[in-house]
Copies of this chain bind each other. A is one copy, B any other.
Amino acid sequence: MKKVLFATTALVMTAGVAAAEVSLSGDGRMGMVYDGDDLQFTSRARVKFTLTGESDSGLSFGGEFRVDHEDEDGSSASRGGAGHVYISGAYGKLSMGDIDSASEKANGDLHGVGLTGLGDINEFVYLTSDFESNDNPGALYEYTTGAFTAYASMMDAGDDYGFDGDNDTVWSIGGKYAASNYAFGLGYEAVDVDGFDLNQWTISGEGTFGQATVKAIYSDMDNDGVFDDVKQYGLSVMYDAGATDVSAFYKKDEYSFAGVDTGDADTWGIGAAYDLGGGATLKGGIVDSDYNADTIADFGVAFTF
C-alpha cells in the first residue's frame, strides 16, 4: 500500500512538547546536455533527510543528509561525512560533519547557470572546504549579532594530498556583513601541516540594484613553493524579471610559481530560468571555459519536492 505523507507548511506538535522530527524533501531534473560533441539526456532524482529538535531549555539541534550520499563503504552521515549535525542557541551555532569552511560561508560562490550547473565553475575553490572528512568530521562555528556574522572552522587534514594522516588541523575564519541591499564578506584559510604552509584570503561584495543582483569575489591562494599560487577573480549578475531569471558570470584563474606566471584560465557562463510554479522550473545555460575543450550547454526542467 502506497503511503502518502501530509504536506504542510506548518509543523504540528502536541502542545507544550518539544517535538523531534525527521522530514523529507527532494529534487530532480530532466533535460539535455551538449558536451561540445554529443547531445545527451540528463536526469536525476534525490531525497534529503532533515532532522530537527529542540531541548527543554530552547536549544535547537538537528542535522541533514542526502540518501544518495549514504554509502556503507564510502562517505556517510553515519560516520560524520556527507552530511552534518548542529546545535544552536544564544551563544551561536556549532555544526559538525562535512561542513564548508568559514571563508566559504562568508564569501560563497558566483551565481550559477544552467540545468546541471555545467561543471559548477561559478564555484570558487576554497582551500579548507575540500578536505576529505571521511575519517573525522570538521567543525564550523557561526555567531550572528545584528547584520554581522562571524565564522570559524576547523577540519582534519587527513591523508589528502600526501599528508601523513597524523590528524593535523586546517582552519579558517571569516565574517560577513549583510544589510538589506548589499553584503560584504572576508575570509582566511590556513593549511600548516607536515611542512606545507598554504593560505588563502578571499573577499567578496554583493549589491542589489533594482531587479539586478551583482556579486564580485576575489581570492589569493599563497602556496609554499610546492604547488602553484592561484588568484581567482569573479563577477556575476542575476536579473530577476518576475517568473524569468537571467544569470551570467565571468571567472578568471591566474596561476604562478615563485612569482612567475604559469598560465591562466577564463570561464564565462550565461543562463536563464523560468518558474513554472509548483516546484518546476525551466532552465538552460551555456558555459565557455578554458578548462573545457568545447563550449557546453544544457536545457531542461528542474523540480523541487
Q: Which A residues lie at the B interface, using CB under 8 A?
A: 1-14, 18-26, 28-30, 38, 40-47, 49-57, 59, 61-80, 82-87, 94, 96-97, 136-139, 154, 156, 167, 276-280, 301, 303-305
B22 touches A24 (CB 8 A): yes
Q: Which residue of B lies closest to A67 (CB)?
A: B70
The distance from the CB of A23 to the nearest CB of chain B, in whole angstroms, is: 5
Measured CA separation A197–B176 after assembly (Å) = 61
A53 touches B5 (CB 8 A): no
B24 touches A3 (CB 8 A): yes
Instruction: With A4-B10, A44-B80, A64-B45 as known contacts, state yes or no: A21 contacts B305, CB within 8 Å.
Output: yes
B77 touches A46 (CB 8 A): yes
Measured CA separation A54–B22 after assembly (Å) = 24
Q: Which residue of B lies closest to A80 (CB)?
A: B43
A3 touches B5 (CB 8 A): yes
Of the candidates B22, B66, B75, the one whose C-beta lies within 8 Å of that of A78 is B66
Residues of B close to A303: CB separation below 8 A: 20, 51, 53, 61-63, 85
A56 touches B20 (CB 8 A): no
The distance from the CB of A122 to the nearest CB of chain B, in whole angstroms, is: 21
Measured CA separation A21–B67 after assembly (Å) = 16
Measured CA separation A76–B68 after assembly (Å) = 7
A79 touches B44 (CB 8 A): yes
A45 touches B51 (CB 8 A): yes
A53 touches B279 (CB 8 A): yes
Instruction: With A6-B6, A7-B3, A75-B72 as known contacts, state yes or no: A278 contacts B54, CB within 8 Å.
Output: yes
B51 touches A23 (CB 8 A): no
Measured CA separation A137–B300 after assembly (Å) = 14
Residues of B close to A84: CB separation below 8 A: 43, 45
A5 touches B22 (CB 8 A): yes
The distance from the CB of A304 to the nearest CB of chain B, in whole angstroms, is: 6
Of the candidates B75, B83, B94, the one whose C-beta lies within 8 Å of that of A45 is B83
Residues of B close to A68: CB separation below 8 A: 70, 72, 76-78
Q: Quick one: which of A1, A29, A56, A138 has the most chain B CB within 10 A?
A: A1
B45 touches A277 (CB 8 A): no
Residues of B close to A78: CB separation below 8 A: 44-46, 66, 68
Q: Which residue of B lies closest to A22 (CB)?
A: B24
Measured CA separation A84–B303 after assembly (Å) = 13
Residues of B close to A13: CB separation below 8 A: 7
Residues of B close to A57: CB separation below 8 A: 276-277
The distance from the CB of A161 to the nearest CB of chain B, in whole angstroms, is: 19
Residues of B close to A56: CB separation below 8 A: 276-278
